[in-house]
Chain A
């Protein structure tokens, strides 16, 4: 503490209480966030297994193993592919469609209608992901409703699209579940962003003779750019962590290979097979990917702020 605080005891008192209020959380995060990630990194450099108490330092061997070997049929490369396919296949449609829905919702004349739609779209997010997955598992059955619906839309009759069997359909299925569950959530994020654009700007545009289409491309979208960026990165980060749907589908009988996202591989490698060190290496890889994306988000949101 500087000399100044000695002179003014009231400031010293303030500092003491401030620390006192923050210390419990600081201790918690030190033990349950920082320590484990450091621990994961150190473990990833050893040969630790669940059953053996001793561990030896092996350097980057786990990482080399993961990048070159197939990890008993469920390689890191496959997990990266599954995770990236899922992430890209989910977050892009999610952001685009929720933006469209939000813009259309803003066109409604009464707030009452908008509120109704928002709540209805948000309903799936209220259910837990396990419940969501179990509903869709039945819908995706060859005799299930969604398969019937696909037949109806694609003008086929009695065709089995293999939603839970065919490997690319299985991936699509997990994306549909996720999309269904979170679409309402992202609509609300965009509504909040849209509502913060002052109406005077639209009035000015209308006076200048811009139609709705032009208004959207020239005014709404540029002003909404920070929100779009933020929501995209958020959706991406969330998709990278997906676990429940894939796990449920796999437990329900679907093949693991096509939907073996990285979190699922960490779980199976570390917990089911007891390869702690290898799973820790995968955790660190997941952490680095997410760290890079988060830093990109910060950069994007700082450099690109819009003033109304």
Chain B
């Protein structure tokens, strides 16, 4: 759009200043979490706030570099439930992203590449479920889960999220553009239908699979509402519940709370660091929904 190569114009300078201010707004709270996780409450709420943890906090007799992290992990009653909740969150998020990718690709493939009576109806029905917000059906789901004795279990946490309508939609749209000639050629070669799906279709879907897998993982990592209903036992809590509980009971210890928040964010930061392309891609795919 901009054809003027050379000096920085005034408009451009203003653009840069504005964008940098927004940058500060989005980044500073994250930097704050990072530095605050090494500070004690007194320094976190000091006026004026200093962005560099001062030396005396690490060298004083009752604090070390890792004091906050140890507190975050040990929790309020030293039961060290942190790792258990981390594990629970990982189990739920990984399982859900695997099943979502599997079931959504299966269904999306069926809808995109097979002509059968009711194909369009099934597609529309699945799209219609996108209009049903989870928040509106959580009460009946809760009742069913408790009557099936699935409270405080991985099954209870996972089963309502096995696949998402949006995932099916995304897979179908992607596979519509997949050349049918490949499929026919494999059929001529005598490959079975399921093998075609597993060996030809799936390996050619890696971008959607990555996007969808990350989206599902993130949604579960973020999920507070459903675990709040289903996990009442300490050992079945997930990371968001742990942080919530921790912040209630440790209201005064801001440093430990930030350390806890930081630890809980590490898996997401790692994923984002390695696969940021697919995070941003996921947002972009959503936009194409209008098509």
The residues of A with any CB-CB pair to B shorter than 8 Å are 1, 11, 14-22, 24-26, 28-29, 32-37, 39-40, 43, 101, 104-109, 117-131, 134-139, 141, 143-145, 148, 158, 180, 183-185, 188-189, 192-193, 199, 202, 206, 212, 226-227, 230-231, 234, 237, 240-241, 243-244, 247-248, 251-253, 263, 266-267, 270-271, 276, 279-280, 283-284, 286-287, 290-291, 294, 301, 305
Contacts and interface: CB of A to CB of B under 8 A. Distances in A.
B15 A104 contact: yes
A1 B117 contact: yes
27 contacts: A16-B116, A18-B116, A20-B110, A26-B122, A26-B125, A28-B163, A32-B141, A33-B132, A39-B143, A106-B1, A126-B268, A130-B261, A134-B260, A138-B257, A141-B45, A141-B254, A143-B45, A144-B45, A145-B49, A192-B287, A202-B1, A243-B224, A252-B248, A252-B251, A266-B135, A266-B139, A290-B133
A134 B261 contact: yes
Contacts of B46: 143
B23 to A, nearest CB: 5
Contact of A243 (B12, B23, B135, B197): B135
B247 A252 contact: yes
B30 A127 contact: yes
A307 to B, nearest CB: 13
B32 interface: yes
A117 B113 CA distance: 39
B290 A301 contact: yes
Nearest to A215: B1
Contacts of B239: 128, 130
A220 to B, nearest CB: 10
Contacts, number: 294
Contact of B133 (A202, A227, A241): A241
B188 to A, nearest CB: 12
Interface stretch (B54-62, B63-71, B73-81, B275-283): B275-283
Interface in B85-137: 103-104, 106-107, 109-111, 113-119, 122, 125-126, 129-137
Interface string B33-61: 10010000000111111000000000000
B162 interface: yes
A45 B208 CA distance: 42
B289 A230 contact: yes
Contact of A18 (B25, B119, B243): B119
A305 B104 CA distance: 28
Contact of A126 (B134, B261, B265, B288): B265
Interface in B16-36: 18-19, 22-23, 25-27, 29-30, 32-33, 36
B49 A40 contact: no
B33 A135 contact: yes
A188 B247 CA distance: 32
A281 B69 CA distance: 44
A37 B290 contact: no
Nearest to A195: B284
Contacts of A251: 244, 247-248
A17 B287 contact: no
A127 B110 contact: no
B140 interface: yes
B264 interface: yes
Given A29-B129, A129-B240, A290-B136, 13 more contacts: A17-B114, A18-B115, A22-B111, A40-B136, A120-B27, A127-B265, A128-B265, A134-B243, A135-B29, A139-B29, A241-B133, A244-B224, A287-B131
B169 to A, nearest CB: 11
Contacts of B228: 247, 267, 271
